[in-house]
Amino acid sequence: MTTTQTALDAPYELLTPETAPAYVRSRPALHEHIDGGDIRSVREIGDGNLNLVFILADGAGRGLVLKQALPYVRLVGPSWPLGPDRARHEAESLRLHGRLAPGLVARLHDYDPDRYVLAIEDLSDHRVWRTALNDGLRHDGAAEAMGRYVAAVAFGTSVLGMDAAARAATLASSVNPELCLITEDLVFTEPYVDAGRNSVLPANEGDAAELAADRTMVDAMGRAKWTFMTRAEALVHGDLHTGSVMVRAADGEQGPVDSAKAFDPEFAFYGPVAFDLGALWGNYVIAAARATALGDDERAAWALGLCARTWDAFEAEFRRLWTDGRVDPRMFGDDLREHLLGTWRSEAWLFGAAKMTRRIVGLAKTTDIETLPPELREGAARGVLRTARRWVREREVDSAPRRAEEVAGELLGEAATRG
């Protein structure tokens, strides 16, 4: 959908490539980041599900990103209205997460509450992690960076690291019912109770039917949905996957990263810490499913290994923050720390399973799977669904991340339909 098509449907002025330079000139907060009088290029990014996004560059090579919330879901159109106040949630979470996890979150330069526009640092020298994974590239260190990010947010926005008054104010401001409802429906409900938005290849219709008929799976998703809706532990990102992380290799196209940054936290809300962890784990499995389908078993094993890398970095950072920064160590003793870590480790399996199934059966799929040839996509999709169903069963037996990787590797290999 183009900017021109959307302009008629918004109660506020929408940006276009033609008007973006003048907008920059009208915002004094942006003048130190880009020369609004010397804008050389404006590029609209049209692959988002919800918003308008433009990348601008000036004659000195400096750039920034303008992101404007539409009053509906861009993926569907005006038939699915959605309040633009989600832009405020994103701005507030970027500011807070950026303070807690410096260098691990895209920097916010400015927020315009009248037109729901965020101005964010230009990360054009980075790549979207999902795209890099699809291209067969490795960015070692990105998984660990995201583990540290989740830990910083988990500790710093919870009762452990934030005083009661500040936390209460942050929680009240972050109530995000419209976007939470999207997650509640698309992630936890519709893969099992089709509302008309699901789709699979004809060859996978039997797999989708088995998923919906799996009472153990459905009951587990009911528990996951309950936890998502009621457990206000921390100001989580809410949509943390490989498509919402930018990576940059230190020495060229791939290799150890010198930068990995989360972005797009418009789904941020006070929810369960393990939801962000599970979202990452589920997307690692999807990346591994692609590699398996393409016959690269070594790469698939590497992708699955990102689960443990993320968890190990998360746990180490959380333990460090626990030692140094508890608001009330009198009552928050080490037994609570171990209980929390054990709970989150098990729940990461549960939320990972939820994220896997919605990306295969539900709306808004991933390019990892969708860009495979149909004959390979069939087995990749089947393997992901079978992994999800097994994860909800095995997590009660052994919640170690490496066991999650073993289960996924076995099932992805068995289901693969390689060319």
What integer pLDDT is reported at residue 47 of this predicted model?
A: 58
Residue 52 has pLDDT above 60, yes or no: yes
Residue 255 has pLDDT above 70, yes or no: yes
What integer pLDDT is reported at residue 194 of this predicted model?
A: 87
Looking at the structure, tell me whether residues 154 and 236 fall in a common domain: yes
What integer pLDDT is reported at residue 49 of this predicted model?
A: 67
Domain count of the chain? 2
What's the whole-number mean pLDDT along residues 353-372? 96
What integer pLDDT is reported at residue 8 of this predicted model?
A: 43
What's the whole-number mean pLDDT along residues 201-228? 98
For 164-182, the pLDDT digits (tens) are 999 999 999 999 999 999 9
What integer pLDDT is reported at residue 80 of this predicted model?
A: 77
Looking at the structure, tell me whether residues 160 and 296 fall in a common domain: yes
Selection from 237, 229, 233 nearest residue 262 by Cα? 237
Residue 10 has pLDDT above 80, yes or no: no
- Of 63, 91, 121, the residue at which a domain comes to its end is 121
Domain carrying residue 260:
127-415
What's the whole-number mean pLDDT along residues 110-119? 98
Looking at the structure, tell me whether residues 300 and 252 fall in a common domain: yes
Query: Confidence class of residue 419 from pLDDT cuts 50, 70 and 90?
Result: low
Looking at the structure, tell me whether residues 202 and 303 fall in a common domain: yes
What's the whole-number mean pLDDT along residues 216-243? 98
Looking at the structure, tell me whether residues 14 and 51 fall in a common domain: yes
What integer pLDDT is reported at residue 7 of this predicted model?
A: 44
What integer pLDDT is reported at residue 79 of this predicted model?
A: 79
What integer pLDDT is reported at residue 73 of this predicted model?
A: 77
What integer pLDDT is reported at residue 4 of this predicted model?
A: 39
Residue 227 has pLDDT above 90, yes or no: yes
- Of 121, 141, 158, the residue at which a domain comes to its end is 121
Can you give the CATH number for the domain in which 40 is found?
3.30.200.20
- Of 68, 92, 121, the residue at which a domain comes to its end is 121
What's the whole-number mean pLDDT along residues 303-329? 97
For 330-349, the pLDDT digits (tens) are 999 999 999 999 999 999 99
What integer pLDDT is reported at residue 5 of this predicted model?
A: 42
What's the whole-number mean pLDDT along residues 134-158? 98
